[in-house]
Amino acid sequence: MNLSQQDWANQLAADTNAVILDVRTQDECQEGIIPNSINIDIYKGQGFIYEVDALDKTKNYYVYCRAGSRSAQACNIMSQMGFEHTYNLEGGFMNWQGEVTFPNE
């Protein structure tokens, strides 16, 4: 499901069963990350599938990339793999107005 920046942030804040998934490359993550996110690069192809398959399917996944298209693709893949609740951040990280941290902090 695609959510606007505001809806994504609000729903995430109220969700006690949430996992934030960043599907960008390691280089892109150097520009900053949404706090407490885990990174699995969708460009890993089959490696992405293996890593995602190891995740807890009972959690709710809030997925983002740089602009919103890779995360939408990731949500579709995850849905096909049996994840019931995936939420795509429309506009991605480049439009994110919330808190940002850097991976090496």
Q: What is the pLDDT of residues 23-79, one digit of tens each?
A: 999 999 999 999 999 999 999 999 999 999 999 999 999 999 999 999 999 999 999
pTM: 0.96
Average pLDDT over residues 11-27: 97
Residue among 9, 34, 42, 65 flagged as catalytic: 65
Task: Measure the CA angle with vertex 36, ends 30 and 42; round to 5°.
Answer: 60
What's at 30, amino acid-wise?
Q
29 included as an active-site residue:
no
Coil, helix or strand for 38? strand
Residue 87 belongs to some domain of the structure: yes
Mean pLDDT of 79-90: 97
**Does any domain span residue 101?**
no
Q: Which helix (H) or strand (E) holds 6?
A: helix 5-14
Task: Give pLDDT, residue 105.
Answer: 62
CATH assignment at residue 24 = 3.40.250.10
Show the domain range for 90.
2-95
What's the total number of domains in the chain? 1
